Amino acid sequence: AKDANRYSAGLKYINKAIGLDPNNPDYYVLKATCYHKMNKHDDALDTYDAVIRLFPDSAYLYIIRGLELQSMWVFDKALANYNIAVRLAKTDSILLMCYLNRSSCYVTTRKFEQAYADLMSAYAIDSMDKGVLLDLSTVCDELGRENEVFKYLFRIVEFDSTYYPAYINIGFKYQLLGSHEQAIQYFNKAVGFNPEDPLIYSNRSYSRLMTGDLKGAMQDIEKSIKMYPGNSYAYRNRALIYIAMEKFDEACEDIQR
């Protein structure tokens, strides 16, 4: 309620600013953002429609209207906006943004080949963009391109050895392949860079369980649950540990949770 009041108050000032300068697109974007934060998505779309009528050649405005539509799960209209943005884009930075957002829409609708094509176009623009590389690894995993998954993840840590999400994904990929010792090594690196991420401990817990380290697995999962008690997957992992310890009542309680 407090946030809604803040955004509502902000709208009053933004509307005054628009009254003084109705040809400033930034004011309309701020107004739409306030509506989005207030979960008034139709009002946000009306605002984007208004500013696009004023600036019909702005690729950026189509991108952010696409994002609003995507947040509403109106994927066909979101894609239509991204398609227009691609045609209108005049700089590599805007075009990169187009490809990244359109690919995310394709991923959500499980059109992985189209997502891969967009991400490869983005990669051609900037082969060192971490978002592009991380998304490429995810899409390649869905498409069964095993070698490319590691290629893009290792490329990230080659030029930024502190980027811990890449280590998490490398560890998770090794985990999926059943290489749990290697997975633990990369989860250890991720913990070293960000010891406050509960999902790292949850993932490492599972690999420790698979290597027979029940004590270490339990320590990790207890820490993960304490940090993030709303993660249902962590209770599933702890249930597996309890099963390995033959504590079936505790396992059933966690599965119920």
Instruction: Give per-residue pLDDT as tens, 138-168.
Output: 999 999 998 899 999 999 999 999 999 999 9
d(CA 222, CA 147): 34
As a whole number, mean pLDDT of residues 11-18 equals 94
Instruction: Give per-residue pLDDT as tens, 68-113.
Output: 999 999 999 999 999 999 999 999 999 999 999 999 999 999 999 9
Q: Which two tokens stand for residue 89?
A: 């884009």
Instruction: Give per-residue pLDDT as tens, 178-212.
Output: 999 999 999 999 999 999 999 999 999 999 999 99
Q: Which of 204, 239, 199, 240 is nearest to 219 (CA)?
A: 204
Q: Which of 151, 145, 142, 157 is nearest to 123 (CA)?
A: 151
pLDDT tier for residue 2 given thresholds of 50, 70 and 90: low
State the amino acid at position 209 in one-letter form: L
Q: Which positions ≥6 away from 165 have C-beta within 8 Å? A: 134, 190
Instruction: Give per-residue pLDDT as tens, 25-48.
Output: 999 999 999 999 999 999 999 999
In this predicted structure, the answer to whether residue 6 has a pLDDT above a threshold of 90 is: no
Q: Which two tokens stand for residue 18?
A: 């628009």
State the amino acid at position 34 in one-letter form: C
